[in-house]
Amino acid sequence: GNGSLGGRGALIVLEGCDKAGKSTQCRLLVEALKKAGKPCHLYAFPDRTTEIGKVIDEYLRCTKNLSDEAIHLLFSTNRWEVMPKIRELLLNGESVVLDRYAFSGVAFSAAKGTLDLAWCMGPDVGLPQPDLVCFLNLSKEAASKRGDFGRERYEKTEFQDKVKSIFLKIQDPAYWKIIDADRTKEEVQSELFQLSIAAVDTSENKPILKLWD
């Protein structure tokens, strides 16, 4: 737990398009929070290590094809399968930092143009609502300096533009912050740390709400 107070931990999510620095910043954030005496854990979605995650990995590497509906539901299931563990940590006073969450799930699937936005949100309704979502906003100019796209399925500029517009459409000001990700790693980290410490402190005595409920 987090000591004598007995409050819950905070659920903090980093979202954003390709190469925005989510994984880099998640790692730095977990280290910094631990150093500040806030116990916390890192989870990444997709979690490619589970049985479902292995199927997702094959889909992303284009070695397996699935219908748009089927892969969407697998991404969501991949979140629900670890939720009991995450909820237990939160209730035990430990914070959880997530590298992508349901917002990626909706943005990437809806960007295909074949699935309705409300249908995309459905399977993730009721997941724990984050206390803080930091959307790492990377300009096209800065993105082009971070190396070429890899060979995974969604790594194409035009598609990433659609993804970004859906992220911005589904943002909820109750917990959503847009972070300028064009800056140095240190500058971005410093802002994320301040926002996260504040979230940890203010979430302690709040109930865990349900996402999109």
SS3 content of the chain, % helix, strand, coil (to 5): 45, 15, 40
Q: Which amino acid is at 120?
A: C
For CA atoms 39, 181, 147, 72, the dihedral sign is: positive
- 60-64: long-range contacts (C-beta < 8 A, 24 or more apart)? 60/152, 60/153, 60/154, 61/151, 61/152, 61/153, 62/151, 62/152, 62/153
> Could you say which residues in the range 11-30 bind Mg ion, by CB under 5 A?
22-23
Q: Least distance from C-beta 22 to Mg ion, angstroms?
A: 5
Query: Which of ligand Z5A, Mg ion, none does 105 bind, CB closer than 5 to 8 A by kind?
Result: ligand Z5A
Q: Show the tokens assigned to 124.
A: 């993730």
Which spans of this chain sit near ligand Z5A (rule: CB under 6 A)?
16, 18-24, 45-46, 60, 75, 100, 104-105, 108, 146, 152, 154-155, 184-185, 188
Minimum Å distance from CB 50 to ligand Z5A? 13
Give least dist CB 76 to ligand Z5A, A.
Answer: 7
The SS3 assignment for 120 reads: helix
Contact call for residues 1 and 92 (beta carbons, < 8 A): yes
Q: Measured between alpha carbons, how far is 138 from 16 in angstroms, rounded to an integer? A: 8
What lies within 8 Å, CB to CB, of 157 at 6+ separation is: 140, 149
Residue 171 interacts, among Mg ion, ligand Z5A, none and using kind-specific CB cut-offs from 5 to 8 Å, with none
With respect to ligand Z5A, which residue has the nearer C-beta, 24 or 50? 24
Minimum CB–partner distance for residue 23 and Mg ion (Å): 3
> Which does residue 108 bind out of Mg ion, ligand Z5A, none, counting CB within 5 to 8 angstroms by kind?
ligand Z5A
Q: Closest CB to Mg ion belongs to which residue?
A: 23
CB of 108 to ligand Z5A, least distance (A): 3
Q: Which is nearer to ligand Z5A, 10 or 60 (CB)?
A: 60
Positions in the binding site for Mg ion (CB under 5 A): 22-23
